[in-house]
Every structure is written in C-alpha cells, then in structure tokens.
Amino acid sequence: MNAIYVMWMRQLKRYLRSKARIVGSMAQPLLFLVALGFGFGPIYAKAGGGNYIQFLTPGIIGMSIMFLAIFTGVDMIWDREFGFLKETLVAPVPRSQLVFGRMLGGATVATGQGIIVLLLSMVAGFRPVSIWQLPFAVMVMFLIALLFTAFGTAIGSVMEDIHGFQLITNFLVMPMFFLSGALFPLDNLPTFVRYVAACDPLFYGVDAMRSFLIGVAHMNVGLDIAILATISFALLGIGSWLFSRIEL
C-alpha cells in the first residue's frame, strides 16, 4: 500500500511542478467553453434547445478530463526513454501497486481539473440544478478519469515511440470526444451513428454528468454509471496486466 501512495503522490507532484502543463491543459476546455458556448449559444436557443452553456458545460468537463487522463500514458513513454521507469520497476514491490498508484494519481489530477473547469464555467454563466447533486457529478468525473488513465496506461505500456502514441490517441480520442454528445444532442442523428456512439465510454460519462448537473439525460443515470464503472475496472485490469509485462 505504501508503494501505491508513493506513486500517487509522485504523479500529483509531477503535474503541479509543471506550470506550463497546468496552463496548457486548462486552455483548451476554456477555449471550447467560451468560443462555442457564446458563439453557438444564440443559434442553439433559436433552435429551441435553451441555454447552450448549460448543455455544453458537462461535455467540456468530460473532454478536459479525458484529454488529461489519457495522456498520462505519454509520461510512461518518457519515463521509459530516460530510464526513470527502469528505476521504478526494479523496486522490491509488486508492479500492480506501482501501476495502480500511477493510475490513481493521474485520475486524481484529471478529476481536479474537471472540478476547476466546473467552477470556471459558473463564471461563464453555468448553473447546476442542485448543489446537492455536485458530489455525484464529481464521482462521475473520477470514474471518467480512472477509465481514461487506465486506457492511456495500457497504450503506453505496449508502445515505445511517443509519436506512435500520439497517432493512436488522436485517432481514438477525437472521435470519442465528438461522438460522446459533448457538443450536440445525439437524438436526431442517423441510427448508425447512435450505435457507434453507444460504444463510446465517454458518452456514458457525459450523459451521467448532465443528469446530475442539469437534470437532463439521454439514458438512465444508473445504467450510465454501471457501464462506466464496468469499463473502468476492465481497463484497470488490462492496464495493470500490460504494465506487468513491460521488459526492462
């Protein structure tokens, strides 16, 4: 358990030491929130959709968590290239504790960023339907963060080239973001697209957050959380197994 705590704190300190990384990770969600929220807000309202900031904010929170969480896999590739990963792996502790600590640290950082984006969105005009629902929304944020941290770790465990990692994540991350319903409702899309969106884990996270934050959901929130938790634990197992197979 001590190894889990050490790796957890190491991930937190690594992120907090990099001021440029903090600013960079916050810039994209805020740009989306302001540019799209105010840019498309009048069009969305005229189409009968209501307040676009209200609809958009849960999706932007999900996006910011996903992007930061999945790119924790890049840290593993950098650690491998510069020898830091080798120093970690030779420690006399089970690798399962090491990787779980890394995942927990990455998920904690990503969840913290999601909370910050939520607070900043309130400055832009977002209003949650109930403050009593906020802890449940944070729980969903953590599940999203844990899922994509495990996903990034699984990819980072089998790749040695950082350029290849970026190619794969860009091929997967951007479609998952756009098919999650973060930017637009999925109700009137073609049936085929809705089926593809149903395979997107971020879709369930965004839908659950909308249920807790604005009281609107595409599916049952209990089903959203069940699917999200199942995928998260499955990827935790896969990521841990792939990490255990890394050769020095």
Tell me the domain boundaries of the chain: 2-244
Quote the tokens at residue 170. 């860009």
Q: Residue 42 corresponds to which amino acid?
A: P
pLDDT, tens digit (0-9, with 9 covering 90-100), for 155-198: 887 877 777 777 777 788 888 888 888 888 887 778 888 888 88
Long-range CB contacts (< 8 A, 24+ apart) of 32-37? 32/56, 32/60, 32/63, 33/57, 33/60, 33/117, 33/120, 33/121, 33/124, 34/124, 36/183, 37/124, 37/125
pLDDT the model gives residue 80: 73
Determine the pLDDT at residue 106: 85
Instruction: Provide the token pair at 139.
Output: 């729980």
* Nearest-angstrom CA–CA distance, 73 and 150: 9
Give the chain's residues under pLDDT 50: none
Predicted model pTM: 0.90
Chain centroid offset of residue 210 CA: 15
Rounded to 5°, the CA angle 89-95-97 comes to 120
Residue 179 DSSP code: T
Q: Residue 84 has what pLDDT?
A: 66
According to the model, what pLDDT value does residue 198 have? Answer: 86
